[in-house]
Structure 1
Amino acid sequence: MLEAVPLPSEWAANTYNNKPYCLVKLSKYSSRDINEYIKVENYFDNYLVVKIERVQNPYQYGKYLLYRLQMNNPSEKIYFMPLKSPEKLEVALRFNCDYRRLNYSYDMFFSSVSTAESYSASYNKMIVMQGLVGYTNYDAGRYPKYVVTYENN
């Protein structure tokens, strides 16, 4: 029998206000957040990071973990998904970055921030996602971890 999926220890206790997810703003001045903030900020080494928000979506996270187990723990990688407008953020987080819901022609997951940024249409927000190598085209093979607001240097 499956036990409850443990949530990441860094997740904050939040109310979800009838949404399947919540965004938790990280602070580089908080002893609780500093290591996580710096880790994410380092992905954006040629950009000025304005804000980092952790995505907490228990359902999608649990689905991702179960799929990872089902696929015999394949390698994981960080991917970057550009957002083209403010409206796309809500849709992306609600539907696990499904390109069909976003009205994109294909999945837009890139292995570098600079490549993803070239598709952002000057809307400076990006989703940092964890994905199973070879399985990101499956809904359960990816999990959005952060929303990063940035500026070009």
Structure 2
Amino acid sequence: MCLPQEPQWAEFKNGTTGEALIYGAEYEDNTSRAKGLFSKHMDDNDPPCAVCHSTSRGSRLMIPARTTCTKGWVLEYTGYLMTGKTIHEKASEYICVDKDMSIIPGTSSNNDDAVLLYLVEANCGGSMTCPPYVQGREIACVICTK
């Protein structure tokens, strides 16, 4: 997931709950499984961001830490980044949930606790530098199309 160099903030509450965090990334290719798979050894280096755009097919882009789209893209909605709780064992990914979220009718009393979504907070360190990010601040997001 590509985080911008200059985040934009929506409404937020400072302070860390630790329920769902986002970190900067770095390569770990110094393992026996990774050796020989890559053309270079990049262990402990931070990966760059890449976004692909196809002119023959429509494109959808989720941009974390933004409240506006890049020039030439159309805003579909703004919201907040959410994911599963850090300590949960179930697979999860970061998703952008519309700030005007909706629900499936008739599901409010289920409380199945299958996969739970929590607001994602910035966790400073490594390639996620503070500033411009702020420890514990909720990460906004935007969905854009082209």
Q: Give me the TM-score of the superposition, normalised by structure 2.
A: 0.29
Bigger relative contact order, structure 1 or 2, given CA contacts below 8 A and separation 6+?
A: 2
Higher helix share: 1
- Higher strand proportion: 1
